[in-house]
């Protein structure tokens, strides 16, 4: 297989107090036992990153968001030293402060908990590349484009 980049969309729901909604991963085979964005996943073939973010929020949290409510936070080019094509990633992070419905765990086999967390008091451990983004969001100094693992 030739070189490919796997795109993913992350939605950081923020409530009126500035807290972020995180999920505790389980049963996924990747970073189980780590806290992560409550809604995130791969962009499917023929799907825009905005559509993927809205779809993931509906599938994972049972909420409806519109592309107009997604605020771009950062695009992260990410790699791991495995040499595998699947480890070449571009992650699009959005914040979202408006949605309809009450966020809840829609995939209990993949999420052990769902919790609103203050940005200055995050649970441990958080998926490392997502922790980088959350820390930058809290500090207000997150670049529009980031690179991790290079």
pLDDT at residue 88 in the model: 85
* Residue 113, in any domain of the structure: yes
pLDDT at residue 85 in the model: 67
* Residue 76, in any domain of the structure: yes
* Residue 69, in any domain of the structure: yes
pLDDT at residue 83 in the model: 72
Specify whether the CB–CB gap between 38 and 127 falls below 8 A.
no
* Residue 129, in any domain of the structure: yes
Is the model's pLDDT at 1 over the cut of 70?
no
Average pLDDT over residues 47-66: 98
pTM for this model (two decimals): 0.94
Note the pLDDT tens digit of each residue in 70-114. 999 999 999 887 777 667 899 999 999 999 999 999 999 999 999
Number of domains into which the chain is organized: 1
Specify whether the CB–CB gap between 86 and 69 falls below 8 A.
no
Q: In the numeric block, which tokens belong to residue 18?
A: 């500035």
Is the model's pLDDT at 5 over the cut of 90?
no
How many residues can be counted in the chain? 150
pLDDT at residue 11 in the model: 98
Q: How far is CA 97 from CA 13, 64, 67, 141, in A?
A: 6, 12, 12, 19
Is the model's pLDDT at 2 over the cut of 70?
no
Q: What is the CATH number of the domain that holds 97?
A: 3.90.79.10
Q: In the numeric block, which tokens belong to residue 89?
A: 């990633």
pLDDT at residue 4 in the model: 80
Decide: residue 9, CB within 10 A, 0-12 exposed, 13-18 middle, 19+ buried.
buried
pLDDT at residue 150 in the model: 83
* Residue 53, in any domain of the structure: yes
Note the pLDDT tens digit of each residue in 9-36. 999 999 999 999 999 999 998 899 999 9
* Residue 1, in any domain of the structure: no
Residue linked to tokens 């049963």: 27
Nearest to 88 by CA among 132, 128, 147, 9: 147
**Distance in Å from the first CA to the final CA of the chain:** 22
Range of the domain at 78: 6-148
């Amino acid at each position: 297989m030739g070189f490919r980049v796997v795109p993913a969309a992350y939605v950081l729901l923020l409530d009126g107090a500035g807290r972020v909604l995180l999920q505790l991963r389980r049963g996924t085979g990747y970073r189980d036992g780590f806290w992560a964005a409550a809604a995130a996943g791969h962009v499917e073939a023929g799907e825009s990153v905005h559509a993927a973010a809205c779809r993931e929020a509906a599938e994972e949290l049972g909420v409806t968001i519109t592309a107009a409510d997604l605020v771009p936070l950062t695009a992260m080019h990410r790699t791991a030293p495995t040499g595998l094509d699947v480890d070449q990633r571009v992650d699009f992070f959005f914040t979202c402060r408006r949605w309809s419905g009450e966020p809840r765990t829609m995939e209990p086999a993949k999420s052990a908990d769902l919790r609103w967390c203050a940005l200055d008091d995050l649970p441990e451990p958080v998926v490392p590349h997502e922790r980088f983004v959350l820390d930058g969001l809290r500090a207000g100094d997150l670049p529009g484009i980031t690179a991790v693992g290079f």
